[in-house]
Each structure stands twice: as structure tokens, then as C-alpha cells.
Amino acid sequence: MLTARPHLSNSRAALVLALLAFFAALCLVPGTLHAQQTPETLPLSQVRPGMQGYAYTIFAGDQIEKFDLEVIGVVDNFLGPKQSIILVQLKGPKVEHSGVVAGMSGSPVYLDGKLAGALSLKLGVFTKEPIAGVTPIQDVLNPPPSSTAEVPMQQFGVPSAASASAGLPSGATLEPIETPLVFSGFQPATLQQFASQIQGYGLVATQGGTTAPSPQDSHLVAGDMAGMVLVQGDASINSACTVTAVQADRVYLCGHPFLNLGDVQLPMARSRVVMTLSSDLSSTKIVNIAGSIGTITSDHLTAVTGKLGPPPAMIPLDLSLRTSAAEKKLHFEIVNHSKLTPLLVALTTFNGLTQNSVYGEGTTLHLTGEIRLQGHAPVQLENTFAPGDSLAPDGFPIAITMQNVFARLFSNSFEPAKVDGISLRVESTPGRKSFTIESAWLEKGEAAPGETLRVRVLLRPYRGTPRIEETSVRVPEQVSRGTNLRVLVSDGDLLNRASRGFAFAGAGGGPAGLDQLISLLNRERRNDRLYVGLFVPAPTLLWDDKELPNIPLSQINIVDGRPAPGSVQVLRESLASEASIPLGGPVSGVISLNLQIR
């Protein structure tokens, strides 16, 4: 039996047509459909002064907004050889009020309805008109060839400080639009301690927050905001800029480098704008960071590029602070990158320690922990830090210690340091517990080979009663009669330098591999112990991570002549024996005593 298909009434047909027209219109507006394709692009050769265009960005919430612009001209070879920019003037109430905003970099620019480039530069500060530079779209979509080597960090344009020193008037130069570095859970006191390093990276520190991840986070379109995750967990550090284009799973954003790191593996996250803060000095977007949506794979001169999907693994950092009354544990995750990780570990450790409800100034802090590395023994950490007389926070030396250890690990020339995790434990004791070596003496001024001598040391605790500590050193059996020996009473740092020479300072005679470097780090003496070392006047050969005392000169000449200049170091003394006394607080000072062998 055949049934006739019912005809649509005129009113229903009109409704269907209206809906089809509505959805067709949506396809023409960036920010509406995840499946959008990159629109037709406009070659730089077709850009002319006076062309009218528009761009997209977010001023608040998730609403992508359009603002107008006019082409002033094309500046050839601005960023470098064959790296031109398009100079434009922004128009409209919002951009004329705020100027070029930090976080606006990457905003897609359209001329004649075609994608022409990404907003990337601004004209100085205190400018009366919002003048900006645009990176041509062919440079955004076709960044420099990939390389497995890291590209040194550099900035383009002329920064304000450089402008002043070069005699250029302030605000008369094009500079990269700042990339906001969003700190959530970090206090201004933390950022002040690292301000020079953060500014040296060409970043603008802003405060922001985090928001719950959403299934829609990965539905990026041109004009949305995204960025790089540097730290996440109980506090976070992220960057944020505007998406220029999305092609399948590839994302192009910023229109200029983040840090010009070359090929990278950094987590990519969605950013959501809370508001745009207008300022005559530097307008910026206040943003919240949402869920991870993929991996930033490239950071080059003309764009940052990423890939939607799972993010790369990060380094877990567990920090616990314990006092006699309470204990608080924190967890963070930090990117694994040789240029960024040392600073980020220091920042995160310092903030997690000092911005902690159980932390208090005026306490002695004992640090223990370990850095776990893939395929290698862990680096063991232990030192004690007492309050100082400067205005620097008491926890700052712990942060600097962590930064120095990671700098040594990541700057090694042997193999990449792949960190599995970091565990730090800090115990806080009220008061300042530190000691100064004031004097030392031997029970007698001469000894026989094989004899054991007592050594007494006068220590002065901070604002305490002087006290005497006693230990002993043993004279080696093979020492010749009539020889003068040296007894060094010192802190750990000075004994490290006396027994390891330039190798301890990181120059000459260093380790020959990552295992040897880890061994050296683990053998470095602690700062909360009193050390007594007995040195004999016989050469010590330092070869890679090995200490070879009492080496005959004939063997030294043979080894030192091998083809690897600078890989061997010779000290004029050898450490024959050593004793130490744990004191529970940092020790400083040095006393040198002579001992005659009868």
C-alpha cells in the first residue's frame, strides 16, 4: 500500500528555510563550529595601504568579538631577512579604549574577507592610537623547518630599555605583544624574588586562576584563547594568547614566539577570559586556565603551534612542610624542559614553602629529599638553612639550592636528564640555629705515622654560649717522618673545594657522564656539619668523578697527556682522612693547622 508523503505547510517550510539559513550563517562566523576549516588566505603581495579589515579576539568570557582595522603599510624585512610585517591601526570603541592588549597576540586578521595574518606587535607604550603589527599568514602557517636542536631564546623588535639606551624615543618602536604569564596560587612576594629572571624571559606576570575542565575545551576556533602549561596542581603557571587558525588537529596561535624554544613538548590548555584590564601603560587580559587539550609542539619566530590530543607527561613535585604542631603536603606538576625547569622548580618550591599556612619566618629549615631520574640513581638532597640578617625570606636559599641542582642536571653535556619525580621534605624548627668556627687546636703539635690525634674546635652558636666539639683524625701509616701535614677545620663547602678543586665549581676535571655527575652531587658535603680533614703533601688526580690521591708524578704525566685536554685536574694535596660532627644548623668558617710527623 502506498502512502502519499505529506506536503509541508507554507509556515513550516519557512521555518525550515530560516533554520538552514541560520546554521549557514554560523559557518561564516569564527568561534561557532569546531569543524571550521581555515578560510582562504590573502598573500602578503596583495596587501595594500588603506585596506579595511577586521580581527577577532575575546575581551570577556567566551564571546569572540570583532573589531575593525585599517592597513597602514607593509614593513619589509622587519623581523629578519624576508620576514615582513603588516602595520595596521585598530578601530572601534573597545580597542581605542584599551589599546593593544597583552594576550591579544595571535588574533586572526582578515582583509577582503581573507585571513591575512596574526596580530603580533604593538607600538610602544602611552601611544595615542592603537597601532599594531601583523605577522603575515604564510609565516604563521609555515613556520621554520623543525629541528631536534633547541633554539636559543631571543626576542624580536626593540624592547623599551634597549630603545632608551639606543637614543630612540620611548614608545616609538614596535615590540612583541606581551604574552601574559598567569600565576594562580602565587603571591606577589614570590614573584618579586624572581622578577629579574621572569622579565629576562620577556614575559608579563599577571595573576589569574583556574576553572574546571570542560568537554568543550578542545573545541578551539580562531579567536579563542589557549596557551602553554608550565606548572599545574596546587598552584599553576600558564601562558595565554589568541588562536589564529585551526586546521584539523593543528592549532596556530600567538603570531610570535612564546620564548623561541624551537621544537618543544609542552602541555596546551584552554584559556578563558575573565575580563580585559585597560591601562595606559600596559593593558592585559585576566584569564582562567581550563583543561589540557593537547601539546605545544613548536615555538618559533612567527608562531606557536600545537596539536590537539593528549598532553605530554610532566614532572611531579611533592612538597611537605612539617613543624612541631602541624604538617602540610602539596603536589605540583612541572614541565620537563632544560631551559625552564630549573627556574620553575625554584619558583614552585619557594611559593609552596613560604605561602604555606604552617610556615613562619625566623625558623631553621632542614631540607631532605630526592630527584628521581630515569635509568639513573636518584640525586639525594640534604641541607639546613638558618634565618639571615637580610630582608630575603628564610625559604629563599632552599629555592636557589633546587635551581642550582637542576641547572647542573639539565646543562650536562652527556644526555638529557629525564626526571621521574621530585620529593622534598622540610622540617621547621623555631629560632636561628647556626655556628661559626672561632678556633681549633690539636692535642699536640706532632705525631707518628699511624697515630690518631684528637682535634678540638671552639664553636660559637648564634647568640649562644661558645662550646667545644671534639673529634679525631688518623695519620696514614705510609707518611714519611719529617713531613708537614695540614689539618683543615672547616664547613662542608670549603672542604668540597679543597678536595675537588675546579671540578666542584663546575670547571675542568668534571664528570664524564650523567651517572658520574649524580655521584658528585651525592658526595658533596652537607652544610650543617663540622668537618676536619687531614691533607698530605702528595698530588691528587681528579679524573672524571674519581679522586685518586697519592698518584706518582710519572703516572700523572702519562694520564694527563691523553687526548682530552682539561679532563684531568691535579691538586697539590691529597685528603688522607676525614671526620665530621653533625650540628643541626649551618656551619661557617675555616681554621688551618700544621702537623709535624716525627
Average pLDDT over residues 82-97: 88
pLDDT value for 318: 98
| Angle at CA of residue 134, ends 129 and 138, nearest 5° | 170
Count Cβ neighbours within 10 Å for each residue of 89-111 and write b for 16 or more, e otherwise. bbbeeebeebbbbbbbbbbbbbb
Instruction: Please report, to the nearest 10 degrees, the dihedral formed by the alpha carbons of residues 402, 408, 411, 417 taken in order.
Output: -70
For all residues of the chain together, what is the average pLDDT? Answer: 82
pLDDT at 422 > cutoff 50: yes
For the ranges 7-21, 77-91, 455-469, the one whose mean pLDDT is highest: 455-469
The rounded distance, in Å, linking the Cα atoms of 444 and 457 is 14
Is the backbone of residue 266 left (phi > 0), alpha (psi -120 to 50) or beta?
Answer: beta
The stretches of 375-481 forming alpha helices (DSSP H) are 396-410
Structure-block grid coordinates of residue 186 = 602565587
Please name the residues in contact with 502: beta carbons below 8 A apart, sequence gap of 6 or more: 508, 509, 569
**pLDDT tens digits, 297-317:** 999 888 999 999 999 999 999
**What are the DSSP E strand ranges found in 462-528?**
467-474, 484-490
pLDDT value for 429: 92
Average pLDDT over residues 63-72: 93
**pLDDT tens digits, 106-128:** 999 999 999 999 998 887 665 66
pLDDT value for 277: 67
pLDDT at 146 > cutoff 60: no
Of 23-32, 332-341, 520-529, 535-544, which gets the smallest average pLDDT? Answer: 23-32
Average pLDDT over residues 285-305: 87
Specify which residues 592 forms β-bridges with: 488
Amino acid (1-letter code) at residue 504: F
pLDDT at 67 > cutoff 80: yes
The rounded distance, in Å, linking the Cα atoms of 267 and 333 is 11
Average pLDDT over residues 552-580: 65
pLDDT value for 183: 86
pLDDT at 99 > cutoff 90: no
pLDDT value for 202: 61
SS3 at position 303? coil
pLDDT-derived band at 164 (thresholds 50, 70, 90) equals: very low
pLDDT value for 278: 66
Fold of 34-154+174-312: Thrombin, subunit H (2.40.10)
**pLDDT tens digits, 480-522:** 888 999 999 999 999 998 887 644 444 444 567 899 889 989 9
Residue spans per domain, the chain: 34-154+174-312, 316-430, 435-597
pLDDT value for 553: 57
**pLDDT tens digits, 456-482:** 999 999 999 999 999 999 999 988 888
**Residue pointed to by grid coordinates 648564634:** 462
Residue 555: how many other CB atoms lie within 10 Å: 12
pLDDT at 22 > cutoff 50: no
The rounded distance, in Å, linking the Cα atoms of 312 and 296 is 9
pLDDT value for 589: 96
Is residue 58 within 8 Å of residue 225, measured between CB atoms? yes
**pLDDT tens digits, 347-404:** 999 999 998 888 888 899 999 999 999 999 999 999 999 998 888 889 999 999 999 9
Q: What percent of the chain has pLDDT over 70?
A: 79
Please name the residues in contact with 177: beta carbons below 8 A apart, sequence gap of 6 or more: 100, 101, 102, 103, 104, 105, 119, 120, 121, 122, 132, 255, 256
Count Cβ neighbours within 10 Å for each residue of 362-381 and write b for 16 or more, e otherwise. ebbbbbebbbbbeebebbeb
pLDDT value for 384: 96
- HSE of 142, CA atoms in CB hemisphere, 13 A: 7
Average pLDDT over residues 514-536: 92
Burial of 559 (0-12, 13-18, 19+ CB in 10 A): middle
- DSSP state, 41? B
pLDDT value for 469: 96
pLDDT at 412 > cutoff 60: yes
Which H or E run contains 197? Answer: helix 195-200
pLDDT at 417 > cutoff 50: yes
More confident residue, 176 or 207: 176
The rounded distance, in Å, linking the Cα atoms of 387 and 325 is 20
pLDDT-derived band at 208 (thresholds 50, 70, 90) equals: confident
**pLDDT tens digits, 217-267:** 888 899 998 989 999 999 999 888 899 999 999 999 998 888 888 999 999
**Residue pointed to by grid coordinates 624551537:** 262
Is residue 270 within 8 Å of residue 293, measured between CB atoms? yes
Measured CA to CA in angstroms, residue 454 lies from 105, 219, 272, 294, 494 at distances of 70, 74, 68, 64, 21
